[in-house]
Amino acid sequence: MIVNMFGDATDEQIDHVIARIKECGFQAHVSRGEERTVIGVVGNSNQHRGELEALRAAPGVEDLIPISHPFKLAARGWRPAGSVIDVGKGVAIGGTEVIVAAGPCAVESATQINNTAKCVARAGARLLRGGAFKPRTSPYTFQGLGEEGLKLLRAAADENNLVVVSEVMDPSQVEAMLSYVDVMQVGARNMQNYHLLRALGEIGKPVLLKRGLSATIEELLLSAEYIMSGGNYKVILCERGIRTFETYTRNTLDIAAIPVIKQLSHLPIIADPSHGTGRRDKVAAMARAAVAAGADGLIIEVHPDPERALSDGAQSLYPEQFAQLMEEIRIIAPAVGRRVGDVRALEFGSPA
Ligand code: PEP
Ligand code: MN
């Protein structure tokens, strides 16, 4: 259920409602919008459910609205205007600007990540991606550089004024990653790792939550709910393709999920056409489609030498292909009321 307060409800009235919700054995999650405050009531106490109804008559309360979805805080009704998530360095996801994260699948060396960072920053990317802990299908393939990779990633991002996004695979890694990473990525294979989601609910940093290989949209939103119910409301969703009977592409990028999620949830949704297709020559077309469908951003794999990449080389763009794609979405975005950040001034140097 959500409690819609009147636009002119006082702090005292809001505090009273929160106190009553807690007395009834529920959690109160407060969303202060420009027009009104909305309080999400979550929990599974049945004992005092009837008493909650009485809040309808409390001072400052306009309405109590039942939420029929199993996800509550992730539901659009909790923040009708949509969430805009500040990820640092003046970058916000969910606003007018379509935000692009780019970089290699995995951090491999200082040269590789520095070169990539320069190129993607110049082309207009705002975030630098790169895995240090890699969830590989085979235990015999490259598993990432670990903490050393995070250090290299942080340095390359800072040098080029980029925000860092990197994958966390286990609750035990959370603490150590906080000092290097601005946005914690939860990979598709971990979307339903509930221990990890709960651990991320306790941090203050934004989480990029990728859709599981065979997860429904509702399951994705329930995973977001795990993080949010812990008090961390900074969740960015990512459509990265699902497994279908089609084998030509690595996954099937579910473009329709973008407008569906926009309707069901206030959370920003970005698209990953790299994992969504698995094929370099199909990435740009799907990236363009995702922007046209209303995605708040993109995450794209870019490698200075994809043929020699230690992971996901076949789907990684060459830097010049990435720059070309940025030009294309710069043209598409205004058609759907959005814009793409400018090409950076060359103050950060030119690629080696
Ligand atoms: C990645 O971003 O490199 C990755 C492993 O993605 P996913 O979890 O979507 O497969
Ligand atoms: Mn990858």
Output the pTM of the full model.
Answer: 0.95
Give yes or no for residue 350 having a pLDDT over 70. Answer: no
Taking the CA of residue 299 as reference, the ligand 1 atom at the shortest distance is 2
Nearest ligand, measured from the Cα of 253 = 1
pLDDT tens across 100-133, in order? Answer: 999 999 999 999 999 999 999 999 999 999 999 9
Assign 315 to helix, strand or coil.
helix
What pLDDT is attached to residue 50? Answer: 83
Q: How far apart are CA 292 and CA 290, in angstroms?
A: 5
Give yes or no for residue 352 having a pLDDT over 60. Answer: no
pLDDT tens across 48-97, in order? Answer: 778 899 999 999 999 999 988 999 999 999 999 999 999 999 999 999 99
140 contact partners, CB below 8 Å, separation of at least 6: none
**Cα 188 to averaged position of ligand 1 atoms, centre (Å):** 6
Taking the CA of residue 185 as reference, the ligand 1 atom at the shortest distance is 2
Residue with CA at minimum distance from ligand 1 atom 4:
187
Q: What is the mean pLDDT of residues 238-265?
A: 98
Q: What is the mean pLDDT of residues 251-259?
A: 98
Find, among 59, 51, 68, the residue nearest to 2 by Cα: 68
What pLDDT is attached to residue 348? Answer: 46
What pLDDT is attached to residue 349? Answer: 43
Mean residue pLDDT across the chain: 95
What pLDDT is attached to residue 304? Answer: 98
**Ligand 1 first shell, C-beta below 6 A:** 105, 131, 135, 187-189, 210, 240, 272, 275
Residue with CA at minimum distance from ligand 1 atom 8:
187
CA 76 to chain centre: 16
pLDDT tens across 29-43, in order? Answer: 999 999 999 999 999
Give yes or no for residue 345 having a pLDDT over 60. Answer: no
What pLDDT is attached to residue 342? Answer: 79
Residue with CA at minimum distance from ligand 1 atom 10:
188
Assign 207 to helix, strand or coil.
strand
Give yes or no for residue 346 having a pLDDT over 60. Answer: no
**Cα 23 to averaged position of ligand 1 atoms, centre (Å):** 42
Residue with CA at minimum distance from ligand 1 atom 1:
105
DSSP letter for each residue of 86-141: EEETTEEESSSEEEEEEE-SB---HHHHHHHHHHHHHHT--EEE-BSS---SSTTS
Residue with CA at minimum distance from ligand 1 atom 6:
187
Nearest ligand, measured from the Cα of 101 = 1
What phi-psi label fits residue 67: left (phi over 0), alpha (psi between -120 and 50 degrees) or beta? beta
